[in-house]
Structure 1
Amino acid sequence: PQPTSDPLQVAAQVYPWMYMSSTLDACFKSAEAAAEARPSFASPPATYLYSDLAARETELAEEEADLSDQRVRLEAERRVEFYDELATDEFASAAPSIMQAFLAHGDTCTQVEADALKLATRSAPAEEDYYSPMRPYNALLDKLADLQRKEAQLHASIVALTQGDAPEDDGDEPSARAQLMHMFAACLPLLEARGVNLQMAHELLEGAKENLAMSLHLESLEFSDGEEEE
């Protein structure tokens, strides 16, 4: 179109562009103002989160410390009750000596059974036993018999100790006497096994002694026959 010099026509052509430009400019300014007024959500939530975590960590540490203190106090109270009950219970007066005898009996059985096996499998008498070859057999047989008697005595003592009236437990934890009774009751199968082993060792040694006696008897007969021939 041809340019015009009519002011009205010029105004009619320019006005829409000016209106649109001013409207866009107003929109841009409004958007900038809204963006500046909008709160920042990046930093504060992180700060709040760290603060909450730190506070929760402190609370958990305090709760854990309280629980630990409670466990320590509870364990201490249980130990005090346990020892107080032992101090006033007549049952506990015999328990230590019986347990010591039980442990000592086990150690002696192990040693004597090993000695019996070694002696029973020996091919010839030792030099120091040349003139009395039966002496070590008789000595070990005496020890085995003594251990068998002590095994029977210990068994009877533990049975008497554990067959008394069992105390009633007040709560989930068994009483001191109940704990000791369970412990001693568990010793009975061990004692019975010891008795079986002692009997086997006794029979083995008796057989070896009889074999030695037979061998010595045959040697004496051969010696007598040799003297008669001379």
Structure 2
Amino acid sequence: MNEPIRRRKIFQEVHDRLMERIRSGAFQPNAQLPSERELMEEYGVGRPAVREALQALHRSGVVEIVHGERARVVVPTAERLMSQLATGAMHLLRTQAGALEHFKELRVFLETGTARLAAERASEEDIAKLRLTIARHRAAIANAERFIELDNAFHREIAGISGNPIFPSIVDAMFQWASEYYRSLVRAPGAEALTLAEHERIVDAIAAHDPAGAASAMEAHLNRANKLYRQIITASTS
């Protein structure tokens, strides 16, 4: 069955042509694109079409737009990709029923895996760095913002030991997306000492190069946190 030909907006054509040139390497990472006027002349279109095409590339994380400068092709990184998803992810968590539970399940799945990899691959330097983070974390127990920041750093460092740069970027992004959830959880009465003790058990398993033990300790830590969060929500709504 033949489908009808769909009419495309002009900016979509400009977008696709620019995207193809970026993919082909005609515009390398960090290179500036032609000016708006040059693109208008090259493609025979008006300024609105060029601007809309550039904005679409910007929203996709392909180019960076700074006022007064030509658009620049960004260096692709996992951090940039995660930052592009941030607004939508936070909106999803706040508005969709069940999204937070799905998110927590995803975090347990991911971080038990990174703990397992850390136990397999950690060097003595990696382990020393984790223990230093715990010491700093303990010293910051009276500073709410610093305590939460170091909690994030601990989980990100474990993910980084894997050697896969995507893992720490995802762990960090998830922490930021659900920051409202983590604040009430990490700073719950008595939770700080329990968090530190659980972090120590995770590091002990990593230091022993015990993948199953590290994964189990991480799973217990995250599931305890999830249970605590449900108790906080129940108490606040009852």
TM bracket, shorter-chain basis: under 0.3
- Bigger proportion of residues as helix: 1
TM-score (norm. length: structure 2): 0.21
TM-score (norm. length: structure 1): 0.22
Larger radius of gyration: 1
